[in-house]
Amino acid sequence: MKFTVAAAGLTFCALAGLVTSAGAQEVFRNTVTGEALDVEGQAPKEGRDTPAVKQFMQTGVDPYVEVAGCLPKGEEIYLESCSGCHGHIGEGKVGPGLNDSYWTYPKNTTDKGLFETIFGGANGMMGPHGQDLELDNMLKLIAWIRHIQKDDVADADWLSDEQKKNFKPFDIKAWEATGKAAAEKAQCKISGN
Ligand code: HEC
């Protein structure tokens, strides 16, 4: 009898665990229309199952932010897909600056909001990139956009208090002189993996 009750309890816990983890997935929404984005249906097949993507899908927080080893890839994607409109270091061109603390869409101060804007696009020339950027690369791109921040770190809502202590506003000269080479030697890994 005791055993049966314990077994039933275990089964219940296992089921409850499943339901909780499935229910914890974030819902992502188009920045302009507010419609739900079909991330699963649209993202490329590659780069979906990494620990970072799984964590992001459940928390909405990009675990690659301020992980030095992830920055070179993020920069590469930025230069390929974004800098033509947003400027070499996010200073703004046809599109608005991405390296300062002013955001047209205030939700872009969160990793989730920034992901939604990149994935689903915004107005006019800001097209959706959800189908052409692998999810894992998208997280590296977001980490890079956070890294090129040049304004007061106090406004960097996406950083934890701990990260704020270590963060220095971006300096392209320092990046090109030593930062990038050091980052290329580091691994792009999230803590605990
Ligand atoms: C063809 C030009 C073009 C390209 C390429 C482009 N953007 Fe944009 N982007 C724009 C324009 C124009 C806007 C302003 C749209 C609006 O206000 O709705 C914008 C807006 C944004 C915003 C909102 C900024 C804010 O102040 O809230 C973000 C974030 C952004 N783009 C990121 C990116 C990223 C990341 C890429 C590369 C994957 C990219 N964009 C590629 C033109 C572009």
The tens place of each residue's pLDDT in the chain, 193 residues long, gives 455 554 554 544 444 444 444 557 899 999 999 999 999 999 999 999 999 999 999 999 999 999 999 999 999 999 999 999 999 999 999 999 999 999 999 999 999 999 999 999 999 999 999 999 999 999 999 999 999 999 988 889 999 999 999 899 999 999 999 999 999 999 999 975 5
Domain regions of the chain by residue span = 39-185
**pLDDT the model gives residue 193:** 52
CA of 99 to the centre of ligand 1 (A): 12
**pLDDT the model gives residue 192:** 58
- In ligand 1, the atom with minimum distance to the C-alpha of 105 is 27
SS (H, E, C) the chain: CHHHHHHHHHHHHHHHHHHHHHHCCCCCECCCCCCECCHHHHCCCCCCCCHHHHHHHHHCCCCCCCCHHHHHHHHHHHHHHCHHHHCCCCCCCCCCCCCCCCCCCHHHHCHHHHHHHHHHCCCCCCCCCCCCCCHHHHHHHHHHHHHCCCCCHHHCCCCCHHHHHHCCCCCHHHHHHHHHHHHHHCCCCCCCC
- In ligand 1, the atom with minimum distance to the C-alpha of 108 is 27
- In ligand 1, the atom with minimum distance to the C-alpha of 133 is 38
The tokens for 62 are 């990009």
- Ligand-binding site membership of 97 (annotated): yes
**pLDDT the model gives residue 16:** 46
- Ligand-binding site membership of 31 (annotated): no
**pLDDT the model gives residue 13:** 46
For ligand 1, atom 14, name the residue with the nearest CA.
95
**pLDDT the model gives residue 155:** 86
Q: Which residues line ligand 1 (CB under 6 A)?
A: 81-82, 84-86, 94-96, 98, 103-105, 108, 114, 117-118, 122-126, 129, 141, 145
Q: Is the dihedral of CA 165, 99, 190, 175 positive or negative?
A: negative
- Ligand-binding site membership of 184 (annotated): no
Question: Domain 39-185 is in which class?
Answer: mainly alpha
Burial of residue 70, with CB atoms counted within 10 A of its CB: 0-12 exposed, 13-18 middle, 19 or more buried: buried
**pLDDT the model gives residue 85:** 98
**pLDDT the model gives residue 4:** 52
User: Measured between alpha carbons, how far is 109 from 158 in angstroms, rounded to an integer?
Assistant: 6
